Amino acid sequence: MRSFFKYMAILLLPALALGVWSCQKDDEPASSGTPAVHYIRSTDPGKSDSLLVGSFMGSLIAIVGENLGNTRELWFNDQKATLNPTYITNETILVNVPSTVPTEVTNKMRFVFADGSELLHDFSVNVPAPQLDLIKCEYVPDGDIVELSGDFFFEPIQVKFPGEVPGEIVSVEKTKLQVRVPTGAGSGPMSVKTNFGAVKSKFHFRDSRNIILDYDGKNHETWTAPIGSADPGGCSGGYAYLKSASDGAWQWANELTMQYWAPRGRGNVPVATGAIDDLVLKFEVNVPIEWRDVRMEIFFGPYVEDHGRGVSSHARWKPWKNGPYKTDGWETITIPLKEFKYHQDDGDDNETGTKPLDNLSSLTNVVMMLFGPANGPNPVHVCIDNVRVVPK
């Protein structure tokens, strides 16, 4: 009867199972027969009718077999599980899958018994494949370090740059990677590979798609924002910068605008093609001092030698909204085109907007300017590079 109750406990509730099995007599002898595993079940009542061939780290599982009472060690891949003698009988073992990521993946469960004999059983520890979400800056010179954010970054790990060039791993955390850019890295997606899978980035390293402005040959109206390269250093050559010792409310100044007029640039070419919901504006930014006030208005204009502010849908970038904004070097900024939704006269507290962007076909110009309400004059220094509209 005890075996029947043990089996029912597995099916019903892990806590109940623990209570029943802990009542095993201390003097019950372990079987001297050949150990065997018949099946493995989850202790989750909602999943107990399914047999397991693998489980996630930390999961509580029930191993059902025969002659298991002399088990002294239990390994999952190269990780040793913690065994509680109270939950080991000849027919069952309750155990948590180790929470440490295996280095050597064998997809085997290894039992070590009191007499030194061993038993292998097929069982995989399910560790998710790496997830690659963000890169701090898409433009990083050879020899410098890129920072990647995501999840499930477990060693051993390999990162490859465009051109299948491997990078040097500098540091590894579960959600963050630092990798040195190798000589010869190209332009395109990156990849991350662990023992548990591989992923390719949606972003492009050194993105070369649809570059509208790079300030090294593809330039804006240079009587607006000046071009710099040294203060601070650039991420890929020259950059435009908006700088003032005391930027204040509604201060329209040439040096605080960056205007690109297509008739003097690449011609009558839309800033992008495709659905608004599928596209993003990207650019690199470096803010070496705290930016405290005055939003950045960004908008696309028609094919004329003018800013086109009065006829355009605006995006309002306010990275200081929750506190002063300052970057640690260059960072890539992404603004979905669906955020271009404001009319020039919409109130600053209007989060919905009244002029959503709905068509790009006639929009060729780009303007980025510090313009709007402010609590008082503050110094500002915002550097911009590699303006582009690309798929998200």
Tokens of 224: 């607006």
pLDDT tops 90 at residue 5 = no
Pairwise CA distance, residues 390 & 392, whole Å: 6
Whether residue 232 sits in one domain with residue 346: yes
pLDDT digits (tens, 9 = 90+) for 326-360: 999 999 999 999 999 999 999 999 999 999 999 99
pLDDT tops 60 at residue 179 = yes
Q: How many domains does the chain have?
A: 3
- The per-residue pLDDT for 28 is 55
75 inside domain: yes
What are the CA-CA distances from residue 5 to residues 13, 92, 127, 189 (Å)? 12, 12, 33, 56
Of 109, 126, 143, the one marking the end of a domain is 126
Angle value at C-alpha 388, between 340 and 184, nearest 5 degrees: 150
Whether residue 241 sits in one domain with residue 277: yes
CATH number of the domain within which 31 lies: 2.60.40.10
For residue 259, the enclosing domain spans 211-391
Whether residue 230 sits in one domain with residue 273: yes
CATH number of the domain within which 358 lies: 2.60.120
Pairwise CA distance, residues 386 & 392, whole Å: 16
Using 50, 70 and 90 to split pLDDT, how confident is the model at 23?
very low
Of 126, 159, 189, the one marking the end of a domain is 126
Pairwise CA distance, residues 210 & 346, whole Å: 30
Q: What is the mean pLDDT of residues 277-295?
A: 98
Of 166, 200, 234, the one marking the end of a domain is 200
Tokens of 97: 């899958």
